Amino acid sequence: MKQEVPPLGYAYDALEPYIDETTMKIHHDKHHQAYVDKLNAALEPFAGLQKVPVEVLLKSLSTIPENVRTAVRNHGGGHYNHSLFWKLLKKDVPVTKTMSLAIDKDFGSFDNFKKQFTDSAIGRFGSGWAWLVVSNGKLEIVSTANQDNPISEGKHPILGIDVWEHAYYLKYQQKRADYVAAFFSVINWDEVNKLYKEAMK
């Protein structure tokens, strides 16, 4: 079965003015599509692997045949990361009680969490992601290069920010910090809450 780009689930301009319509359109329709196309092309000779959910492939990269492993890691990672990212974005969703308590417990305060997440996103050199993950029952912040995902390290991502330039350059140019600050206005905390509960099971 071929992989497909999932629908965005909301209008391209739904995140204005924090993330602009043109960026969303290009990011979803072109960049995400390219990861999916390249993943499908790479898996063409591997009928068995085509049936495996991309999440499972990323959790077991070491078992993927070596000649296609990098393609799965990069393009499969790109597909998985973006599919997650679209669902994590929504305007005007307040932090849930559960997440507020969990963040206070594991980071001391929301401000401390926000600072660590921001530092991680700004500090990621080159292209990559910053993540809030559940690891051994606790929240932590990690960043990954390129399209790597913390699930390949056995962690459960519940929030992530794409800091590739294609995610922000049209509106923010080189000012990644401004994009990261704006990102806090479009976090879908209901989705984060749902992923947190699943990860804590």
Contact residues toward Mn ion (CB under 5 A) are: 162, 164, 167
Give the C-alpha separation, 103 to 132, whole Å: 10
Q: In terms of CB distance, is 83 or 193 closer to Mn ion?
A: 83
102-124: burial string, b at 16+ Cβ within 10 Å, e else:
bbeebbeeeeebeebbbebbeeb
Give the C-alpha separation, 3 to 148, whole Å: 18
Q: In terms of CB distance, is 21 or 106 closer to Mn ion?
A: 21
Helix (H) or strand (E) holding 194: helix 189-200
Q: In terms of CB distance, is 14 or 52 closer to Mn ion?
A: 14
Q: What is residue 53's three-state secondary structure?
A: coil
Task: Report which of 169, 137, 164 is spatially closest to residue 19, judged by C-alpha positions.
Answer: 169
Q: How far is the CB of 152 from Mn ion (least distance, A)?
A: 18
Q: How far is the CB of 166 from Mn ion (least distance, A)?
A: 5
Q: How far is the CB of 82 from Mn ion (least distance, A)?
A: 6
By beta-carbon distance, which residue lies closest to Mn ion? 162
Q: In terms of CB distance, is 82 or 155 closer to Mn ion?
A: 82
Q: How far is the CB of 196 from Mn ion (least distance, A)?
A: 23
